[in-house]
Structure 1
Amino acid sequence: MAAAANPVKNLHDEVTCSLCLEYFKDPIIITKCAHSFCRACITQYCKELGTDVCCPHCRKSFHQKDLLSNRQLANVVEIIQDLKRTAEKPGEESELEKHQEALKLFHEADQKASESWDRNSQAGLPPDRIAWETKVKLELSEVSKQIATAQDAIFSSKQDSVEINEYVSQIKGLITEDFCAMKQFLETQERATLMVIEQEQQVAQQKIEAMIGQLTTKVNKLTEIKTQLEKALQDSTVEQLSDASSKREICIGSPEIMTKITLDAEKISVVTSAVEGLKKQLETLILKKYPAQLPQGLLQETSVCSTSVLSASGIPEPIISSQFSQWAVNVTFDLQRIHRYLEITSENKKVIVSRFPLPYEPTPKRFCISQVMCSQSFSDGCHYWEVSTKDSNGWAVGVADGNIGKYEQLGRTELSWCVEWTGKNKQLSAWHRNQETRLSEDRPLKVGVFLDLPNKHLSFYSLTDKETLLHRFEINIPRPVYPAFWQYGLDEEGSLTINHINRA
């Protein structure tokens, strides 16, 4: 009777959670008793009660498996809220008409949900049977929703497959062009080198042919004189013998010194040295700079050519420091604060220079220089992390506040500090406020960073066979700071890796 006397209040009660007294948000139904509550409200309610949980309305016990999403009630709530927003607009129909229309729409939306229940009740079915059917129908609705979600995921996966195939096809085309260009360059160098050798061969051959021609002419003349001398002996003519002897003396003259004709050794040596140098440069480039990127078979075939070139992977891994391990933190690279030519792998702990731009979403703070920050920030306490730098020819490791500009380089601002190695100049330096402090240490293969905020210290250590302090900054930070990194030379394909540390 109360519902008939006050339909507005009844409507409000039907779409209101009894725990928070607000409209239902993601309503959940208890299948044991068919009462509904907000998901967050009933979850908090169950957490507070622990194992012995009962319905806030009827006090009937239930378990987590008895909680199911009530999508029909959620749709009703959404209709009511839309009607309420429409009713609040000026110049509309009277308040009574609005409430009557809302009540009508509520009963229409709720009718389908209650038909099965009413039908079963009129048939005299037991309450357990009715609750079971309600639960099954709700499960069917949830399964249908999951099927639709899975179908969307299948379509999305197919789209991803098309995009991946197109991208791989593009990359393969670029790689083929690059190798064709390299092959063309090597073939051009080969032809030019062989041409130099052939020219030297032709020069030597011409000299030999000229010498052979001169000697052949001399042999012919000597043969003619020999014939004349033999004839003079037969004829016993003194005049003929004397004439042949004089011709022989003119032809033979003084004994000749024969010169051995050879190739230009100096020029040939220059050519062979250049070829050998080119071969070593290629081997060094492949073995030292791309050990991780190239297939293993290619590396093995290349290493047969020369055993004098050391691979970067052959460098012994420095020890892991234990002095600061009690303050070790798990930091990872942030995909929102990274240059589009830097790629993150290995659970967001390795950053690699990419030959092609990555499809990152546009963000206002994405770096426009080859830098990346971590997702984690620190405003108090002590923190320690380690970075492997052995696979990078140029890098910077440090910290910066979150407001560093996308064009600002690490160590060149008021609130950024770093230690930097530039392989081009072979120089290790510390940077802050765009001021450089040159350090005497050699290139570190692993760098430890200890951020001691209570004492306002930022320290950098080189980790090899021992732990060596590289530089310590006195810092004063008004805002949280993030681990930050700079990767030199986007065409070098170097990498930096954040190491895992076991806390003491």
Structure 2
Amino acid sequence: MASKTLANLEKEVTCPICLELLTEPLSLGCGHSLCQACVTLHNEKTGKDSGCPVCGIRDPRGNLWPNHHLADIVEKLREVKLSTGIGKKGDFCALHGEKLQLFCKDDGKVICWLCERSQEHRGHHTFLMEEVAQECQEKLQAALKRLRKEQQEAEKLKADIREDKLSWKYQMQNEKQRIRVEFNWFRHILENEEQRELRRLEKEEKAKLDILAQAEAELVQQSQVVTELISDLERRSLWSAVELLQDMSGIMKWSEIWTLRKPKTPSKRLKKRGLCASDLTTMLELNRELKDIQGYWVDFTLNPVNLNLNLVLSEDHRQVRPVPIWPVRCDNYGILGSQCFSSGKHYWEIDVSSKTAWVLGIYCRKPVKFAVNRSTILSNPFSRYTPQHGYWVIGLQKKLEYYAFDESSAFDPKVLALSVALPLHRVGVFLNFEAGTVSFFNITNHGSLIYRFCKCYYSRPVYPYFNPWDCPAPLTLCPPSS
């Protein structure tokens, strides 16, 4: 009821020109009231003598007067509409008090039906607020769906990034650990080389100082002799002529022939060893190469099949030693590994720390294309160890003589003397089948390269070859865990 009353009252105080609540109302003689601005605009368009825009009655414009009472009613009406529950700002027009039911797309505003007819929105594209709201709601739901999908994608990417972070962190930790281990090993190598060089210098220093001490002792002894000679000669210089002539001691003769014997002394210039950065770089590169090669370590044992009578094999088939067969002399102490290779890369190590003679490498069974003189084999047991006979081996004889048995066109192998810095206690063998190489490493000396056979050709699968020779100490095949 109150809403209807307000609506009727609002119609009475609405300007017939702008269709909005009167602003500074002016009343005509006919009783109608207009906004002051609307009267001025109407007069400019129609002239001062035109009639009332509502009823058309002509009335001189001088009869217009400000209707303050009506202005107070309009103001109170606005206050009532805003203060009542019906006229909340969110649901009703603040200007007209009517319910907001339309939407002006041109101005992007929610308006009432009076606003639509006003001068401000006349001719604009207006639509029912519910229809526009429904359209907005559909766009909102589509945007929400798209954004939720984007959010899910973002969460998935975040999870992937977290997983990548953990993966990279794990990889970096492993890489840091590998670098620490590798550089600790390099430091260990360098420290060992440093200690070995210092021990060499200390040994050289001791030898030089011993020579100088011996030379000094000889000079002290000769100095004492000279002092005694000088003392005797000074005493004799005081003798009489008869005493001098009757002296039969021979001291005069001895003093005439005595000369200083200069002792042998070492050179004052220190002979520096040719150790330079390139040597260390080569050593470290070889060590790095060996660490990679050790990743191809294969686990096998010695083959007990067709074991020679002069060999004894341990229970685990990893150790072999020779035994004498009196009165028979035997030159063949060889034994093969239990596994053969026809491709790939393979590595193994052998402990020879107690032995004074041995032969190690690989063997490939080959048909002999020429006759071998048995007397030659008996006189030179190394004649069989040639690549043309299927052997790529190195060996030790007489405790300190290391050899490589390389290719030769003659019956006797081409024996190459090897320079080994430290006695071999443990030897690593690396077979690269496709590359045609067999490499031997001195594990005792930080994995330094002993010798490498190149351009090897294998017509058949190859076997690891071991020969403890006639040295009674055992030869041991090392397991990978060692």
Normalised-by-shorter TM-score class:
0.3 to 0.5
Larger Rg: 2
What TM-score results when the alignment is normalised by the length of structure 1?
0.31
Larger helix fraction of residues: 1
